[in-house]
Amino acid sequence: MAKVPIWDLPDVPKGELPPHLELQRTRVLCNSDAPTHTENIQYSGAYASMGVDNSVRLGQFQNNFKVEVIRVTEDDMEFDMIGIDAALANAFRRILIAELPTMAIEKVLIANNTSVIQDEVLAHRLGLIPIKVDPRLFDYMSENDVPHEKNTIVFKLHVRCERGGPRLTVKSDELIWLPNGSEFPLEAANLTSNSTSKPKTYTSFRCSQDSLPEFSENPIGLKYPDITIAKLGPGQEIELEAHAVKGMGKTHAKWSPVATAWYRMLPEVVLLQDVEGEKAEELKNKCPKPCNVFDIEDVGNGNKRAVVARPRACTLCRECIRGEGWDKYVALRRVKDHFIFTIESTGALPPEVLFTEAVKILEEKCERVITELS
Amino acid sequence: MGLKQEDYLASASKQQKVDADMEFLAAPVKSAVDKFQLLPEFLKVRGLVKQHLDSFNYFVRTEIKKIVRANDLIRSKVDPSIYLRYKDVWIGEPSLLESGINEKLSPHRCRLSDITYAAPIYVNIEYSNGSHGQKTFPVEKTLPVVKNKVVIGRMPIMLRSCCCILHGKDEAELSRLGECPLDPGGYFIIKGTEKVILIQEQLSKNRIIIDTDKKGCIQASVTSSTEATKSKTVIKMEKEKIYLYLNQFASKVPIMVVLKAMGMESDQEVVQMVGRESQYGALLLPSIEECASNGVYTQQQALEFLEKKVKRSPYYNPSLDQGGKALVILRDVFIANTLVIQNNFRPKCLYVGVMLTRMMEAILNKDAMDDKDYVGNKRLELSGQLLSLLFEDLFKTTNEEVIKSVDATLAKPSRSSRFDFSQLLVKDNITHGLERTLSTGNWDVKRFRMHRKGMTQVLARLSFIGTLGHMTKISPQFEKSRKVSGPRALQPSQWGMLCPCDTPEGEACGLVKNLALMTHVTTDEEQGPIISLCYCLGVEDLALLSAEELHAKDSFLIMLNGLILGKHRRPQRFANVMRKLRRAGKLGEFVSVFVNEKQRCVYIASDGGRVCRPLVIADKGVSRIKKHHMKELLDGVRNFDDFLREGLIEYLDVNEENNALIALYEGEATTETTHIEIEPFTILGVCAGLIPFPHHNQSPRNTYQCAMGKQAMGNIAYNQLCRMDTLIYLLVYPQRPLLTTRTIELVGYDKLGAGQNATVAVMSFSGYDIEDAIVMNKSSLDRGFGRCIVMKKLSAENQKYENNTSDRIIRPQRDGHDAERMQILDDDGLAAPGEIIRPNDIYINKQSPIDTRSKVSSPAGLEDKYYKPSRQTYKGPEGETAVVDRVSLFTNRNKNLCIKFMIRHTRRPEVGDKFSSRHGQKGVCGTILQQEDFPFSERGICPDLIMNPHGFPSRMTVGKMIELLGSKAGVSSGKFHYGSAFGEPSGHADRVEAISETLVKHGFSYNGKDFIYSGITGLPLQAYIFMGPIYYQKLKHMVLDKMHARGSGPRVMITRQPTEGRSRNGGLRVGEMERDCLIAYGTSMLIYERLMISSDPFEVQVCRNCGLLGYYNHKLKTSICSTCKTGENVSTMKLPYACKLLFQELQSMNIVPRLKLTEA
């Protein structure tokens, strides 16, 4: 950098950061070698000497915070979270992955399994099948709880491949919900109980689940009917009962309500100089097809100029700043307080509900902190 | 195989365009990509273990007949007219004679029911019965009896050989037989275990080797090996004189005496034979002088001189000596490979002459010395050769025994029954001999003084690649302890024959080798036709030459398998004609012709055990394989053998390679080029072929991976769930590598993979990743990454006893105090499949009779009270829940009921489990973290594991980085990328530039580094992270099998010290060095506690008087010294029990240790 006498520097207006500091505060600079200024400055007095207050203010946050939903489908959504700290955005992400409960098959009672797939592996596969049910309607099952209609969903799977027939692929739609609970009698109880009363089974449902109002309309099922569970050869058979309980992603990934949830910071592509003519063409071509960030603008008399048309599409492949001198033309940045959040739900709950649930959990946690403190 | 398809399409479309253009068709193959198709063809024709199969097939088809023909007549010594003649021999189908019925055997049945996969050896015999009782008169000869298809024994059959029922079967038929189609065969099944006869490396037989002995004396040695004898002849220059060393002579013998004894009396002739140049004469002079000083001038004198040197056997009887023993030795033992016909010793003399000349050349010029490590001087002994040695020996002993028993019967004064020769043929000898040798691996052939151990090994079934690697392993000729570098070093002549990477680390490094992918090992070939062909082609017979002409400058010696055939004046032309004949198929395809300009010799070799490999023939640098050939190959109208038959491809052995100029690629060929490589990556073996981009790695890394690939868990075989091996490791979800190589596809590793494609982030994380540890994502593990199944076999036998009683298995008790332990038992008393088995559970409710000796009236209906329980309980690690996977019942060899249980345990990775990539980068799992703590990329990708970047700089495994890039491009573009060794020029490996382009096309950075957010803080990391999929192997070393700790526990009976080893729940030893540390630290009480209190403290009574140990009398409550017979002066002290034991042991040896007590 050229030496500039200090008195030639422009005056810095009070209460406002100089542009380079403002840039560092609000943007991650994605240079070709490494990203810089990735950290957030949390200290309220960090810029006190320049008369800038860096403290977090609720009012300010309330004014600035925005959520813009970009895309919502049944299973995934993308939305922008603007004006929030990375720590908070990350907290939502972490809660979504690990702390939102869902129902997943935890216990598998295998009556018969003559397939090539081992019992444990079969149970593991069943566990990972997403179940389409609102977990909020269920309770956690603690250690000394008995399985009942409020904490357990029972499925049964009974398939056999007939001899002489072709091989059979067992798909997840073969899992049948048993609203009345387990059908397998408890062996020990069987001996003592008389024939008139219902035989004791592995669950003690007081009533059928489908008689409950929340399920009568909307029977419990699996999210996808076409997940391969096992393959059976002629003469092989699987008979089992799967008990799903409520749990959290922390314990096992099968209870995670999201396939994944993540965010990225809003890309910002800045042309530091005008890129014109052939150079503009080159820049446009440099950016790979799926991103196609740059466009070419006709500036009249046959002159062309590159413009940043779709900065959001930037995947940070850094092709545009690859090569000698290109970093003088293009700067890749990320906006630190603008998060493009994506949630891919596994199907238990729609993604937007998942997010609100996550907010609730964070709220709860905050409240717990506050109560602990006060 | 995306690439192949494209190539095919491209070539097909081209074909259409210029179909009529004959010029184009005649153009050589432009790129080597096309030639690759030869490889799968080659492997289809030959299989992966073709060397074993060929060798065994040769033995079964040819060698066994030769052996029997050579020993076809056995004649009684008592009555010479009684004889038996073997007419023919052949091996039938593998079968088992069960209660008179021949039952066909399948290999898998043999594995499961612990029997030997063997086939009967049939012979056709003709024998004379002789007449009754009295000696037969030669006049009234009875007609010989002919008996066909007599079984003389059972031969273990190599799987997939021509005798095996699997031979020529297709995939469906194989799976019907319970066999894995990808299994290469080439091993035997002996008593249910799979045994491989390792390839043995040896110095070549019947060849002159010039080298130095320990003292630095130059010697010429020949290890002769004929059907009849094996001998080693050494001619050595010692103190300027030349001597012969032969085992049959007690001391060294001057060579001139030997020559004279063989009839070469004239010194002039000897000098002429060696060479007329003055330097040769000067070297010979001292030897000639010595001979004269010994007073040996004539053949007679020489023989008398030698007679004195002949080694006498300890029980030598001078009266039996007929003299002429020296001549017999010279005829039969000395250079046994040159045959003496009608006492014509001339060829032998000339052979000695050649040896002497070679030796002297080496003295004058050290370069002429032979290199023992040169692959061309080595022969690989395969199962067929080893089995034929063994069979010959067993056959001969059987015959001898037959004669013995015949003579014994005939010698009996009165015989009542009719004498039948064939009845005396006992087959057990051969059957048991073969079975015993193959199962122990100890080759003991007395005739050849051969005692070799460890020739067979149990086939490694840990992973599919391990099995393949085991079949190509070559065990060394040297003992492993020798600290020499020469034989361990990589020989340039190994190129293309032996894998440069695949060798173990440690003591066997460089000695144990592995075959390369395309290597073929030859089998013996008939010499006769080659000899006559040579003479037809103008070789001048040796017998017609004078001694001087032996080294005439204008002609070359022609040697066939170490035998001097004669001379030829135009050696190059002769060699060319021979080669042309070979290419035309008039000569065996594996006959090698090698012109050695330096030694002025043409070596023709047709012997077995040479390594050779196929190469494309080029005429003046233009490949003979044209485009249309390859098209025909692709269309399936041509196969590999057609290429051979039409002279487009030929096999070259190591020696002949010296006469060839081999271009790596077509483009590099010049006019001098004679051959072109088929594919450069075939220089690597099976194990090294798995490594992607091995040519970018530091070489030891590839070696490490070769060793580690064999320990990786994965799929073993298609029939893995039907196998009952003692230990099976399986991966639950094995994958095929995203970055494959051609070798992977050729050997079938893509079908039986041993690893998973893990998304790896190369970054430091959490500190639990130092020293090669890796950090793993818990969610990945939850979803099945690295999950494995360990299966162990438990077996039980229902034994029968002498008194016809037997064990029995009874119904379990359903109540009572043992009921809980018998929970898993079915009503038949055996553990049921699918039951969870815990330590101390009974898995077989067996009872055995109390009395197994004395006679019992009704062995079957023994009363209950005569049985005692002999239940077998499961002794697994506490806390591990295993499951009974399978139960199999079978009848074993002794007709007993046997039960095998497979116990299965599924494990998920835990901290301390070992993982490795395919680049010799092993590491243990350092910690397991939650997914939300893991970093994630802009696309939401979260790595499965994190590897520390410090693993790269010192290891220099650039191949791993390229694998990451290639796999990343592979997943993003949805196609498998290739990384075959040296494959960039031929298109079998993707170039980094191309990979980077693909990455960029899919929005990744060209260098594979991604913008990553921390999962903990949520902020971007201050570096771009190199992230992508790498194929990771889970190795069999798992913490669960190794972890061990103990407080108090079992002790050894004799010393009362804690036991040793994890399996015995042993203590952790404070060893000598640990003790040193404690001493240096001054912690005497700690030493006392560790070595005494926690080990074997013992209270003894010591007599202060005599210093010996006394005892404590509990009745009198006093201590007594048994030596002094009093209770006075006895003190009590503590010492280690081992110390007390030592004192008593010393006392038993009449040494009195006395204790002198300073206190008390």
Residues A172-200: tens digit of each pLDDT: 999 999 988 888 887 654 455 455 556 67
Token pair for B227: 């059907």
In this structure, the strands spanning A221-222 and B622-623 are unpaired
Residue B6, pLDDT above cutoff 50: no
Q: Which amino acid is at B1018?
A: G
State how far Cα B487 lies from the chain centre: 18
B269 and B223, same domain (yes or no)? yes
- Binned at pLDDT 50, 70 and 90, residue A78 comes out as very high
Share of chain B above pLDDT 90, in %: 35
pLDDT-derived band at B972 (thresholds 50, 70, 90) equals very high
CATH of the domain at B1050: 3.90.1800.10
- Any domain includes B571: no
Any idea where the domains of chain A sit in the sequence?
25-40+64-100+256-374, 102-255
In a domain, B523, yes or no: no
In a domain, B849, yes or no: yes
pLDDT at B448 exceeding the cut of 80: no
Task: Kindly state whether residues B718 and B772 are assigned to the same domain.
Answer: yes
**Last residue of a domain, which of B469, B494, B521?**
B469
3-state secondary structure of B655: helix
B192-220: pLDDT as tens digits: 899 999 999 888 888 888 888 888 888 88
Query: What CA–CA distance (Å, rounded) separates B538 from B556?
Result: 12
**Residues with Cβ < 8 Å from B1007, sequence gap 6 or more?**
B996, B1024, B1026
Whether residue B790 is predicted with pLDDT greater than 50 in this model: the reply is yes
User: Looking at the predicted structure, is the pLDDT value of residue B21 above 60?
Assistant: no
Name the minimum distance, in Å, from the CA of A321 to any CA of chain B.
11
Probe site for chain B from A90, A229, A361 (most B CB atoms < 10 A): A90
Residues B979 and B899 grouped into a single domain? no
Taking the Cβ of residue B1004 and every Cβ of chain A, the question of whether any pair is shorter than 8 Å is answered with yes
User: At B20, is the pLDDT very low, low, confident or very high (cuts 50, 70, 90)?
Assistant: very low
Residue with tokens 């003055």: B278
pLDDT at B640: 84
Nearest CA to B646 out of B664, B666, B631, B626 is that of B626
Residues of chain A contacting B721 with CB distance shorter than 8 Å: 116
Q: What is the DSSP code string of B183-218?
A: -----EEETTEEEEEPEEEEEPTT-EEEEE-TTS-E
Query: Once rounded to an integer, what is the mean pLDDT over residues B417-437?
Result: 78
Which residues of B fall within a CB distance of 8 Å from A38? Answer: 1019-1022
Would you call B778 an interface residue with chain A, using a CB distance cutoff of 8 Å? yes
Record the tokens describing residue B297, joined without a space: 């001038």
Q: Which residue of A has its CA nearest to B1025?
A: A34
Nearest Cβ partner for B789 among A89, A113, A118? A118
For Cα atoms B165, B168, B174, give the angle at the middle one, nearest 5 degrees: 65
Query: Greater confidence, B639 or B4?
Result: B639
Q: Which residue has the tokens 């095929």?
A: B736
Q: Please state, rounded to an integer, the average pLDDT across all residues of chain A.
A: 88
Q: How many whole angstroms separate alpha carbon B537 and alpha carbon B531?
A: 10
Contact between B913 and B1034 (Cβ < 8 Å) = yes
Q: Are residues B1048 and B1025 in the same domain?
A: no
Enumerate the residues of chain B whose CB falls inside 8 A of the CB of residue A260. 936, 940, 942
Rounded CA separation B592/B657 (Å): 9
pLDDT at residue B31 above 60? no
User: Given pLDDT bands bounded at 50, 70 and 90, which one contains residue B84?
Assistant: confident
- Would you call A91 and B942 a contact, using CB atoms and an 8 Å cutoff? no
Are the C-beta atoms of residues B845 and B811 closer than 8 Å to each other?
Answer: yes
Q: How far, CA to CA in Å, does B637 sit from each of A63, B41, B641, B642?
A: 79, 12, 11, 9
Domain identity same for B760 and B892: no
Looking at mean pLDDT, say which of B58-67, B405-414, B636-645 comes out highest.
B58-67
The whole-number average pLDDT for the span B437-457 is 85
Instruction: Please report the pLDDT score of residue B27 as a whole number.
Output: 52
Angle, helix B383-411 to helix B50-58, in steps of 10 degrees: 30
Q: Please state, in angstroms and rounded to a whole number, the distance separating the CA atoms of residues A343 and B146.
A: 88
Q: What is the pLDDT of residues B270-328, one digit of tens each?
A: 888 887 778 888 888 888 888 888 888 888 888 888 887 877 765 555 555 555 777 87
User: pLDDT per residue over B872-931, tens digit each?
Assistant: 888 877 777 899 999 999 888 888 899 999 999 999 999 999 999 999 999 999 999 999
Residues B773, B847, single domain; the answer is no
Q: What percent of chain A has pLDDT over 70?
A: 95
pLDDT band of residue B136 (cuts 50, 70, 90) is very low
How far apart CA B1160 and CA B1155 sit, in angstroms, is 12
Predicted pLDDT of residue B937 = 94
pLDDT of residue B9: 46
* Domain co-membership, B1069 together with B1026: no
In angstroms, how far apart are the furthest CA atoms of chain A?
101
Cβ atoms of B842 and B873 within 8 Å: the answer is yes
Spacing of C-alpha B929 from chain mean position: 43
The pLDDT tens digits of the residues spanning B537-561 come to 888 887 777 777 777 778 888 888 8
Catalytic residue among B72, B371, B641, B772: B772
Give the range among A119-133, A138-152, A207-221, B583-597 with minimum mean pLDDT: A207-221
Average pLDDT, chain B: 85
What pLDDT is recorded for position B869?
87
Pair (B809, B899) in one structural domain: yes
In a domain, B1134, yes or no: yes
Q: Do B722 and B760 belong together in one domain?
A: yes
Domain that holds residue B1127: 1097-1160
The pLDDT assigned to B504 comes to 92
State the CB neighbour count (10 A cutoff) for residue B288: 18
Residues B84-113 have a mean pLDDT of 86
What are the Cα distances from residue B614, in Å, to A1, B53, B498, B501, B589? 66, 18, 14, 21, 10
Confidence of residue B74 (pLDDT cuts 50, 70, 90): confident
Task: Return the DSSP state at B687.
Answer: T
Q: For the segment A91-147, what is each residue's pLDDT rounded down to a tens digit?
A: 999 999 999 999 999 999 999 999 999 999 999 999 999 999 999 989 999 888 888
Percent of chain B with pLDDT over 70: 93
Least confident of A7-16, B112-121, B849-858, B1095-1104: A7-16
Nearest-angstrom CA–CA distance, B510 and B493: 14
Quickly count: other Cβ atoms within 10 Å of residue A5's Cβ. Answer: 6
> Is residue B2 predicted with pLDDT exceeding 50?
no
Taking alpha carbons only, the member of A121, A224, A230, A120 closest to residue A168 is: A230
Q: List pLDDT tens digits, range A1-55.
A: 567 787 777 776 677 788 888 899 899 999 989 999 998 888 888 888 888 888 8
Do residues B168 and B191 both lie within one domain?
A: yes
Q: Give CA separation, B12 vs B5, B8, B32, B802, in Å.
A: 10, 6, 17, 75
Total structural domains within chain B: 6
pLDDT value, residue B32: 45
Which of A38, A89, A249 lies closest to B1020 in CB terms? A38
Residue B416 DSSP one-character state: -
pLDDT for residue A50: 81
Query: What pLDDT score does B965 carry?
Result: 95
| Residue B393 falls in the annotated catalytic set | no
For the domain made up of A102-255, the CATH class stated in words is: mainly beta
Which of A117, A317, A320, A336 has the most B C-beta neighbours within 10 Å, making it the best mutation to test the interface with B? Answer: A317
Residues B958 and B875 in one domain: no
In CATH, what number does A25-40+64-100+256-374 get? 3.30.1360.10
Fill in the amino acid letter for A323.
G
Dmax (CA) for chain B in angstroms is 121
Q: Which of B1019, B1022, B1024, B1027 to mutate to test the interface with A (most CBs of A within 10 A)?
A: B1019
**Which residues of chain B does A318 touch, with a Cβ-Cβ cutoff of 8 Å?**
1005
The predicted structure's pLDDT at residue B338 = 81
DSSP one-letter code for B465: H
Residue A224 in this model has a pLDDT that exceeds 80: yes
The pLDDT score that the predictor gives to residue B528 is: 87
Which residue did the predictor score with more confidence, B319 or B431? B431
Q: Do B719 and B796 share a structural domain? A: no
CATH at residue B953: 2.40.270.10
Q: Is there a contact between B756 and B920 (Cβ–Cβ < 8 Å)? A: no
Task: Count CB neighbours of B854 within 10 A.
Answer: 8
Residue of chain A nearest B1024, judged by CA positions: A34
pLDDT class for B1149, splitting at 50, 70, 90? very high
pLDDT digits (tens, 9 = 90+) for B668-720: 888 889 998 888 899 999 999 999 999 999 999 999 999 999 999 999 999 99
Inter-chain CB proximity A317 and B784 less than 8 Å: no
Q: In this predicted structure, which of A116-130, A351-365, B659-673, B750-764 has the lowest mean pLDDT?
A: B659-673
- Which domain CATH number covers B254? 3.90.1110.10
C-alpha to C-alpha distance for B219 and B370, rounded to whole angstroms? 10
User: Using CB atoms within 10 A of its CB, is residue B622 exposed (0-12), middle (13-18) or buried (19+)?
Assistant: middle
Flag whether pLDDT at B335 surpasses 50: yes
